[in-house]
Every structure is written in C-alpha cells, then in structure tokens.
Chain A
Amino acid sequence: HDLWRWLYSFLCMMGCVRSCEVIIEDIITRMQDDKTGGVPIRTVKSFLSKIPSVVTGADIVQWLMKNLSIEDQGEAIHLGSLIAAQGYVFPISDHVLTLKDDGTFYRFQAPYFWPSNCWEPENTDYAIYLCKRTMQNKARLELADYEAENLARLQRAFARKWEFIFMQAEAQVKIDRKKDKTERKILDSQERAFWDVHRPVPGCVNTTEMDIRKCRRMKNPQKVKKVSVSFWICFIFFNITFLNLQIDRHCLKMSKVAESLIAYTEQYVEYDPFITPAEPSNPWISDDAALWDIEMSKEPSQQRVKRWGFSMDEVLKDPVGRDQFLRFLESEFSSENLRFWLAVQDLKKQPLQDVTTRVEEIWQEFLAPGAQSAINLDSHSYEKTSQNVKDPGRYTYEDAQEHIYKLMKSDSYARFLRSNAYQDLLLAKKKVSVGKDMLASICTS
C-alpha cells in the first residue's frame, strides 16, 4: 500500500497530477457519461425553438448525492455550486454561477474552456468579446447592466486601440455566422460562461483568484516526462529498501500508539469545552466572561487542581500550580531543583545580549562550588555543564536541566501530589460542591 502511494506521489512530482482540478474534471466527465449512469442530457423544446444539450439542476444534485456518497442535500447543492462557480457547468439563463436544486437548465462547459488550461484572458480579449456581443442582434445576447458598464470602461481605457478591437470583433462574428445554428447556441453560451468566470458579476466570488504562494508553480506546469523501464525498477527497489529501513527503526507498535492517543483524549475530555460544556458557562455562548474571571483569581477550582496530577508538565504550565509546587518545596527546604529548572527556562527566553550574564548568574547560584542553592548533578552531567559554561549560550544548561527534570518527576513531584498542601486543595473544593454522603464514599474509596 505504501509502495503504490509512493508511485502516485512520484507521478505527482512529475507533474502528471494536479489534485483538485483533476478530481473535478473526473467528476464532470463521469457526470456526462451516459454509459455509467451520468445525468440525462436532453434537447428541450421551448416555444418555437429548441434548447440543445441541457440538464436540470435537480438531476445534477441527485447525481452528486448518489455518486459521491453525500447524505445531505444542502451539502450536494453547496458542492455543485462550487463546481459551477469554477465554470465546469453553468446555468443557461443566468450570469450568476450557482446550482439550484430544481428544473433550472444547465449546460456543461467545453473542456477547451476548463480552468486547468490556465487561462489568463486579457482585457483586450474581454473587450473584443463584449464588442462582438453588441453586434449580434439577438435578445438573449443583450448585455447585462454590469457588462454594459464594463464595455464603457474598456472603451475609455482602449480608446486608441478601439479600431483594432472592433475589427477583431467583426472578424469573429463573420466566422461565427458560418457555424451550424445549434452549435452556435451551445458555443455562445459556453463562451459567455467562460467570461462569467473570468469577469464575474459584481458581488460574486471570483474563483480565478489564486493563492499567491501557489501562483509561481501554476505558471510552470511540469510536462510529463517519459521514463525508462530501468528507472522504474531502480525506483521500486529504492522504495523497498526505504520501507525496510522504516521497519527496522525502533518504533512504537501501532496498537500502543492508538491506545496512548485514546488514553490522552479520555483523560482530557472533561476539560474540552467542545465536548464537556464549560462551567459556569462558555463565555462565547452565554456572553458572560465569568469563566475567565474565575480562572484569573488565585483560587484554583478543584478541576484545575486535579489536572496538576496528570503530569508534571501540567503543574509547570499553570502559573498557580507552579507557585503551589514551589511553595511546597520551599516549606521542605528542597526547592533548589525547581528553581534551577525555572531559571534555565527563563534563560532560554532572554534576548541574545543578556544570555552570557544569565548563564554566569545561574552557575553562581546553583552549580559553583559552595553555591547557595546547590543542585545535585551526577558527575558526568556536572563535567559536561562545566565545559558548556566556557562557551555560554541558551542551551548551556540543557543536559543539566533534563537531568533535574527527571529527578523532580520521580521525587519532588511525587511528594507534592502526596502532600497535605496538594491534597487539601484537591479535596477542599469537593467539600463545598459535594453532599455529605458522597464525601464519605469518596474518603473511604
């Protein structure tokens, strides 16, 4: 499975595949394929004329729901509207490109006009098009208000070129007249839909707008390269070797990973406001900031205190927890480890120019012979740190800090959780929010 995935990635790399557009084009192609259950494309009789090659919006919505496994009609309409907005399918009687779930008629866009061809039509092209439209005396081809405004603006902008534009328009009209009537109807509508994408109705989303970070690569789509068989064989062998290397690496079993992720979410689910409603209320929903006021106060809630017991990181992360932890250790005259850890954290937050001074200060207070708050490092770490101090930097005490962290976790932190100070905080709130019977059962359990 991994192997096929990499072959596909390789193809992407060679520029053969370009994600989103390819997927839409595939959907559109399938939709038009009557052999494989596409939408029914019909010619509809209307008064004295025929409307060639149309489908209804309802048919498109139904097809999307069936073929893309969409349960919700609203979702299918939304997706269909986006496909229309991109210009792959369009309403024959509207400039606004959106999909309606009813009998409104739509036509498929010609692949020639698809966005994947990287069209970047110029204003002169648009001017020629609008000019051409005014030459065609058909009611259905009359310019909309915004189009008339656009034309007026273009006439002013291209005043000097206008004769050339006019000539181009005339030439196009001449060619168009030679085409079959039905064919012209279809082509005219497709050309109009093309401009509805590239010069949208004011107020509509312009779907040709691009993310500037992706623009550069769009302009240089990589050509498909022909690759020799021997290259493919080497490529496959390389990937097998790589796969084996991955297997050999000391990795945690998938089942253990899944269990670990599940355990974490289960532990924190009561703190997740999206799953367990926040108490007293979610400020965004109730418009009452009480929750935040409570959190700002120095009195931690029982739920907050409970969280400190999950891991030492939780105590260190919470300023109130950190303060409680420090106070407890100070009461036991064993706070030097935590203070060292905090000092090193602080060192890493300093601007570069202050680093050397801080390194020296930390050395003097915690590590120098006869230091006031001497911490207990094993000789190896001490040696290494002494060396590091000679070239002071933000990571001078990294190894020492790691060692002290592990020590605190197994010693200081464990003692803190067992301490009266912590237990009182943990149970104090329970006394308030829980009835006497409940309290009895909690204490004995």
Chain B
Amino acid sequence: GIPWPPAEMAWQEVSLFAVHQVAERVEALGQFVMKTRRTLKGHGNKVLCMDWCKDKRRIVSSSQDGKVIVWDSFTTNKEHAVTMPCTWVMACAYAPSGCAIACGGLDNKCSVYPLTFDKNENMAAKKKSVAMHTNYLSACSFTNSDMQILTASGDGTCALWDVESGQLLQSFHGHGADVLCLDLAPSETGNTFVSGGCDKKAMVWDMRSGQCIQSFETHDSDINSVRYYPSGDAFASGSDDATCRLYDLRADREVAIYSKESIIFGASSVDFSLSGRLLFAGYNDYTINVWDVLKGSRVSILFGHENRVSTLRVSPDGTAFCSGSWDHTLRIWA
C-alpha cells in the first residue's frame, strides 16, 4: 500500500514551521542607517564578482570586459590591474596570504596571479593556469591555504585543485546543470563545502571523498549564491525565484524563507553579518535587501546601484560589506 507517515508522528516536526515562530521572543532590531561609504570606479563594464583580502580592506574585483582589479577600498586606490584574455570574468578570489589572486570565466579556466609590488613587473607574466573545466568558470575560492583552489563550473561539476602542479585533487559530480556558486564551511576542522546550481539544488560535499553528503531542493529556479551561516550549521541561498532561503544542516531541511510580494527579481548574491543575525542580499532589481535572519522580516532596502547587483560580500571583520554591479561600480556599505 501507500507508505503513509505514522499517525503518532508529531506532525509539527514535518510542517514548514520556521525559525520565525521560535524567534518571536527575540528582541527586534532597531533602525539601521546603512550608507555607501566608498564608491569604487574604474571598471569599464559590468562588475561580476569580488572578494575581500584577509586584511579587511583590500578587495579584488572582476568584470565583463576581462579586467581584474585589486583595490585598497579604504583609500579607493587601485593597486593592481590585469586584463584577462577572455571576457566575462565571472569568478575571482583573494588568496589567504594576500599575495595572490585567482580568476576565470569564459576561458573555462581558473588562473592564479601572484601579486607583486615591483612596478616593473608585468602581473600577467607570472600567470599560472590551475583549473581546467569544459565550460565557463562560475566561482572559485582558495581553501584555507594558497595551495588549493575549489572551483565551480557551467559544466555541472566542482573541483579541487593543487595550485603548484595544477593537478586535479578531487572532482564533485551530482548537479544536473550548471553550478553557479560555492562556499567553504567556516570550521577550522571542516572539510565540507556547499554549492548551488541551475538545477535548483544546493548540495553539501565532503572534500575528502568527493561525495555529496546532503542535498536540498526547494527553490523554484536557479540558485545564484550560497553562503554559510557563521556557525557552519546552516547556509543561505539566493535564487532567480526572488527568494532567499535558510537551510539547516542538522535538521536537514529548509528552515526559513525571505521573500516579499514586491520583490520579483532574482537574488544574485547573499552574505551574513558577523553574528548571523542579518542577511544581506543583492538583487537584479538594482537593490540590496537586508533581512532579519531570525524573524524573517526585511530590515532595510538599500538603493544606489543603477543596474543589477551581481556580487556581495561582507568584510572579514564584519565592519562593512561590498557590492558590485552591472553599473560598473563597487560600493562599500556600513
């Protein structure tokens, strides 16, 4: 017969009652005044990706015209610039040491550039090709060392690479379509990461074995961004279905949805504030919405960009977040 759930089961546990109900007792947040504190102008086309340096002020950004720029965003000075041989550089990352950057896009590769302060040296000369995929590179991230890079690609796979040799250490198969984003678990001992794709799935992987540990499929469209909650026990996602969602790894399910009737354009990138109480999300309607993670309500809406927000990251010490947009600029908000 039909395998129906047993009657004695507490139905409450299965229903979609979210974190918000329990969080009713939590104090509400006050009013927020978040403003653009810096505007970084210099890209000649859509900004597609950015990443922070561990020093809390430098950033690397990449754009559609192939340019990759390293900025001291505190002073807004450009410190390095390199032009990639391809357009649509959709992924870039800063190495933990602060001495190198990685980037890639339509060239299907991920390349590492050491950062040199020698004015006479051409940055492009020391370029090292590390990852090779069979379709565009959508995301890349160094693990906690300059020696390994994790990549996600339009070919539907993720992969872990040894930077020195360019050797493939592990590949991750399971997504049914392009993988658009990834994020490494924040644990000191963890060996896991989460990825999101055009198959509407978010998948958690064991880096050691290459196996998919958990999988979540509740979005109605592409997942453009995934980011771990700072404790590492949960992660948030942003999707073309105009919602952001919170998934808890221990409950093995979606535990919150962040959406509004008036938000109809896709969320392109998400990140948490340091305590995990706030979720910043950039959207294709040029705005940034700030969500109260526990209560599920929107705390603030930030206008300023003149085209889609394509990338958003909170700084390593949580003092600010940076957004990049198709309007060619990056903004630092605090």
Contact = CB atoms under 8 A, between A and B. Distances in A.
Given A257-B248, A257-B251, A261-B233, A213 B136 contact: yes
A353 B233 contact: no
A90 B327 CA distance: 23
> Which of B2, B143, B230, B334 has the largest number of chain A CB atoms within 10 A?
B334
B125 interface: no
A261 B88 CA distance: 37
A24 interface: yes
A55 to B, nearest CB: 19
Interface in B179-238: 180, 187-189, 191, 198, 200, 208, 217-218, 220-222, 229-231, 233-234
Interface string B129-157: 00000001010000111111000001000
Interface residues of B, number: 102
B262 A252 contact: no
B274 A272 contact: yes
Interface string A300-327: 0000000000000100110000000000
A247 B138 contact: no
Given A285-B334, A349-B144, A275 B326 contact: no
Interface in A242-274: 243-244, 246-247, 249, 251-255, 257-262, 264-269, 271-274
A135 interface: no
A247 B5 contact: yes
A88 B19 CA distance: 37
Contacts of B145: 348-350
A275 B273 contact: yes
Interface in B318-334: 318-320, 326-327, 332, 334
A19 B266 contact: yes
A360 B116 CA distance: 34
Given A78-B287, A257-B251, A19 B164 contact: no
A27 interface: yes
A258 B253 CA distance: 12
B332 A352 contact: no
A12 interface: yes
A295 B148 CA distance: 28
B37 A275 contact: no
A291 B266 contact: no
B319 A68 contact: no
A275 B275 contact: yes
Contacts of A259: 22
A148 interface: no
B241 interface: yes
Given A265-B277, A284-B319, A251 B252 contact: yes
Interface residues of A, number: 85
A268 B301 CA distance: 24
A258 B233 contact: no
Contacts of B17: 254
B273 A274 contact: yes
A72 B263 CA distance: 13
A348 B96 CA distance: 14
A108 to B, nearest CB: 17
A268 B13 contact: no
B278 A247 contact: no
A351 B252 contact: no
Contacts of B46: 209
B178 interface: yes
Contacts of A416: none
Which secondary structure characterizes the binding site on chain B? loop
A12 B200 contact: yes
Contacts of A266: 26
Given A271-B318, A274-B32, A75 B264 contact: no
B7 interface: no
A213 B253 contact: no
A209 to B, nearest CB: 7
Contact of B261 (A69, A257, A291, A353): A69
B334 A282 contact: yes
A261 B220 contact: no
Contacts of A243: 5, 14
Nearest to A351: B164
A398 to B, nearest CB: 7
Contacts of B9: 247
A94 to B, nearest CB: 18
Contact of A292 (B13, B57, B88): B57
Interface of A: 1-2, 5, 8-9, 12, 17-20, 23-24, 27, 64, 68-70, 72, 74-76, 78-79, 82, 205, 209, 212-214, 217, 237, 240-241, 243-244, 246-247, 249, 251-255, 257-262, 264-269, 271-275, 278, 282-285, 289, 291-292, 295, 313, 316-317, 345, 348-353, 394-395, 398, 401-402, 405
Interface of B: 2-5, 9, 12-19, 21-23, 26, 29, 32, 34, 37-38, 46, 56-57, 74, 88, 90, 106, 136, 138, 143-148, 154, 162-165, 167, 169, 178, 180, 187-189, 191, 198, 200, 208, 217-218, 220-222, 229-231, 233-234, 240-242, 248, 250-253, 255, 260-262, 264-266, 273-278, 284-287, 293-294, 301, 303, 306-307, 317-320, 326-327, 332, 334
26 contacts: A1-B16, A9-B218, A12-B220, A19-B220, A24-B264, A68-B262, A69-B262, A78-B285, A78-B286, A79-B285, A213-B198, A247-B13, A252-B250, A253-B13, A257-B248, A258-B255, A265-B293, A265-B294, A271-B275, A273-B317, A275-B278, A284-B320, A289-B57, A348-B145, A349-B145, A394-B169
